[in-house]
Structures are given as C-alpha cells and as structure tokens.
Amino acid sequence: MKFFIDTANLNEIKEAQSLGILDGVTTNPSLMAKEGITGKDNILKHYVAICNIVEGEVSAEVNAIDYEGMVKEGEELAELHNQIVVKLPMTKEGIKACKYFSDRGIKTNVTLVFSAGQALLAAKAGATFVSPFVGRLDDISTDGLNLIEEIREIYDNYGFETQILAASVRHTMHIVNCAKIGADVMTGPLSAILGLLKHPLTDIGLAQFIADFEKGNKK
C-alpha cells in the first residue's frame, strides 16, 4: 500500500518524508488556501517545492470545469515536473480530459468519486488513480469502506490498472481498514499516519526495557 499525505504544508511533508515511508502527496485548492498559497504563480511554485521534497507522485488539481480549460491547465501542470499527476474532477468534462491525458502518457487522478460507477468510468478513461472519498461518505452515514470494496471487485474482475486511492482518510483505522480491503493507496493527514506508530503496550514495554537496563547498569 502506498502512503500519500494530503496537505500543502511543507513542514508536514518534510516530516512524513523523513520517516522513509512517504510515497507521494495530494493537494487541492482548499489545502493551498489553508496554507495561504494564493495566486497562480505562487501555487505553481508551491507544487514544484513539494516535488523537490518527495520522490513520488504529487497530485496537482485543475480549477477549470470545462474540457478545454482542464486540458490547458493540466498540460501546464504536467510541464512543471515529471512527478506531477493531473487531478481532475469526476464529471463528464473531467472524464474526457482524463482520456486526453492518458492517451498522451500523462498521469491522472480522478477525484470526488462517490460511487462504483464513477470509478468504472475513470478506469475506462485510463485514469492512473481514482480517489473515492471514504471520510465524506462516512460523514453522511454511508459506509465509505464498502465503496472501496466495490471498486476493488470491479477492477479485479476486468484487470483495470487504475489504482484505488482512498481519499478523505480521517484517522488511523481508516488506513488499516483500507489496507485490509485492498486499496492501492491511501492519502490522509500526518496525524493519521503517525497514529499507526502508537500502541500502549509498546510504550509500556519500552519503558520497562529502559528501567531494567538502567537498574542493571547503575555505576
């Protein structure tokens, strides 16, 4: 399972990268705005800065909602760095743009996916990644993990190479459960990733080891 971090905060990206387990980054206009990154030139420079920190894919989202606009923005994003993945919305125009880019060898991430049918269309259009939003489905009392399972079954039935990128991951158990049901990638906050480190018995055991060592090695 690949681990992506969902943020535009360079310090968080650096911390995740320092762990040695980071495979990529996802961002969106909301995350950019949260970090105070505004204006086209500043946003493009920020994408390059992220690519210079990580070794894997960096999803950069188009803002256009029309086909021509998506193609224009996507081509500009793809030219920034070879790690850039063009992030497109799950719309009719987005699917058309996905096919355009996949035919030209440009990686894509189809986002805002909330049904298995949408994921099927994205795969048919040659998407590199499809991003079902687990947490947002949970927010409306719908089982987000069930959607991951449905997509996994469909993709396995037909041998689609599109990777299932579990998005809107909110906490550590989302990561574990997505791994259990076969998501190829997860993207979430640093806190959820760091949460995988934690277990009370690990803390207790380590404290005991340290105490025993110090007791046996007193001068």
- Contact between 58 and 50 under an 8 Å Cβ cutoff? The reply is yes
Domains of the chain listed by start with CATH number: 2-216 (3.20.20.70)
Q: What are phi and psi of 104, to 5 degrees?
A: -105, 10
The single residue of 40, 45, 87, 107 carrying the catalytic annotation is 87
Task: Per residue of the chain (219 residues), give pLDDT as tens.
Answer: 999 999 999 999 999 999 999 999 999 888 999 999 999 999 999 999 999 999 999 999 999 999 999 999 999 999 999 999 999 999 999 999 999 999 999 999 999 999 999 999 999 999 999 999 998 988 899 888 999 999 999 999 999 999 999 999 999 999 999 999 999 999 999 999 999 999 999 999 999 999 989 888 876
Spatial separation of the C-alpha atoms in residues 74 and 97, rounded to whole Å: 9
Residues 6+ apart with CB under 8 A from 99: 125, 126
Please confirm, yes or no, whether 99 is among the known catalytic residues: no
Residues 6+ apart with CB under 8 A from 70: 62, 64, 88, 93, 94, 97
pTM score, two decimals?
A: 0.93
